Amino acid sequence: MSTQKFQAVRGMNDILPDQSGAWAFLETTLRRWLALYGYSEVRSPVLEPTGLFVRSIGEVTDIVEKEMYTFVDSLNGESLTLRPEATASCVRLAVQHNLLYAGPQRLWYMGPMFRHERPQKGRYRQFHQCGAEALGFAGPDADAELILMTARLWEMLGLKEVSLEINTIGSLECRQQHRRKLVEYFGQHVELLDEDSKRRLHTNPLRILDSKNPALSDLIEGAPRLMDALDDASAEHFESLQALLQAAGLQYRINPRLVRGLDYYNATVFEWVTPLLGAQSTICGGGRYDGLVEQLGGKPTPACGFAMGMERLLAVLQETRTEPLPEPGPDVYVVHQGEAAQQAAFLAADQVRSAGFAAVLHCGGGSFKSQLKRADASRAAYAMILGEDEVRAGQVSLKPLRGQGEQKTVSLAQAIQLLRT
């Protein structure tokens, strides 16, 4: 028989047992946090019609131009795309199921997203986002709540070294006007632009401002600023947002160059950034997208939201938390020796679980010493020991594996009682 070994697709990670504790901790905290703010979970398919993303994210964005996993379903010829983000999916879901007829909606999601980017630390081709979308809220209080909410999450998680950047990109009209000014300005300095920026000059000049090329930084610094051409409504919205953030004592920096890489935004945009992840500095990004619901076939509905990259969050958490992330093990690991003990251990483990405690039964024999090593490696709080002596006396020994405490030989019922204390 020929054999073949496979590797996961490049940029798509396995989550292994020694990492899943940290993931579970993050997911549990996120669920608790989202519930505190009255958000309801939605789950949408990872595959959507390609047009959904092209229309909402924008045809000349990096994501749509070169990062989507798009293929034709050979069974019916439909063009499908693995979701690169879920705001579009969330709006599609709300419109399709008429959720907004019942009034504004606060929705959240968590799950894998797919972008064909060059993998590096903090940047993967399958990554996970947790996002929240507030649909049907026009006022700056909704934007402020979303931002404050993320700040409170960092506290809950013990996350440090993140800072907030905000900006307003105004209305569609004032962006178009700004765009014309940018094309004119960069057009006058075309010889200074790199290939990427030249290409963007007529497709998406706003993205030139986002360029990481240091050779362009002076040119970008001198570019016309959107802030200077802002429409009154956006300026007022931004002022009120800032007043709310200040009232909540939140520190932030206005970054006039913050434009975000998706086309659906207007007015508020924000990002939480960290110096710890090199080039992948954004752990959470979002903003207002008042035109998207209508663009995707719904009634005109103002909206705003954010999404955070869970891999990036975990990476920053691992570096900045004072306490290590939990690596949970079972409550007891049951070790045994001899035939009678094997059966007694099998039944004891069953009873421990019925009492609501996690029990791992040692399988595969071996000396007590090697079994206890396994017990320790399982991160169990206790080893439950059943040797010939214990079985004869109708008892078990409970040996604490973490911290202080003595081994006790007692009845199984008493041992379960000890687990409760």
- Using CB under 6 A as the binding rule, the residues of this chain from 52 to 111 that contact ligand HAM are 85, 87
Q: How far is the CB of 194 from ligand HAM (least distance, A)?
A: 22
117 near ligand HAM, judged by CB under 6 A: yes
Question: Considering beta carbons, is residue 208 or 307 the nearer one to ligand HAM?
Answer: 307
Q: How far is the CB of 79 from ligand HAM (least distance, A)?
A: 21
283 near ligand HAM, judged by CB under 6 A: yes
Question: Considering beta carbons, is residue 273 or 385 the nearer one to ligand HAM?
Answer: 273
How many Cα atoms within 13 Å fall on the side-chain side of residue 108? 22
268 near ligand HAM, judged by CB under 6 A: no
Is residue 86 exposed (0-12), middle (13-18) or buried (19+ Cβ within 10 Å)? buried
SS3 assignment, position 109? strand
CA distance 330 to 404: 18
- Using CB under 6 A as the binding rule, the residues of this chain from 299 to 318 that contact ligand HAM are 305-309, 311-312
How many Cα atoms within 13 Å fall on the side-chain side of residue 89? 25
Question: Considering beta carbons, is residue 283 or 385 the nearer one to ligand HAM?
Answer: 283
DSSP state of 279: T
30 near ligand HAM, judged by CB under 6 A: no
298 near ligand HAM, judged by CB under 6 A: no
DSSP state of 364: S
Is residue 119 exposed (0-12), middle (13-18) or buried (19+ Cβ within 10 Å)? middle
Q: Judge contact between 401 and 375, C-beta under 8 A.
A: yes
Question: Considering beta carbons, is residue 43 or 198 the nearer one to ligand HAM?
Answer: 43
CA distance 25 to 302: 33
Phi, psi (deg, nearest 5) at residue 330: -70, 165
Question: Considering beta carbons, is residue 206 or 219 the nearer one to ligand HAM?
Answer: 206
Q: How far is the CB of 67 from ligand HAM (least distance, A)?
A: 8
Amino acid at 311: E
Q: How far is the CB of 254 from ligand HAM (least distance, A)?
A: 18
SS3 assignment, position 140? helix
Angle separating helix axes 412-420 and 339-354, nearest 10 degrees: 40
Binding mask 233-262 for ligand HAM (x = CB under 6 A): ----------------------------xx
Number of residues near ligand HAM (by CB under 6 A):
27
131 near ligand HAM, judged by CB under 6 A: yes
Interacting residues with ligand HAM (CB under 6 A) = 85, 87, 115, 117, 122-124, 127, 129, 131, 133, 261-262, 282-287, 289, 305-309, 311-312
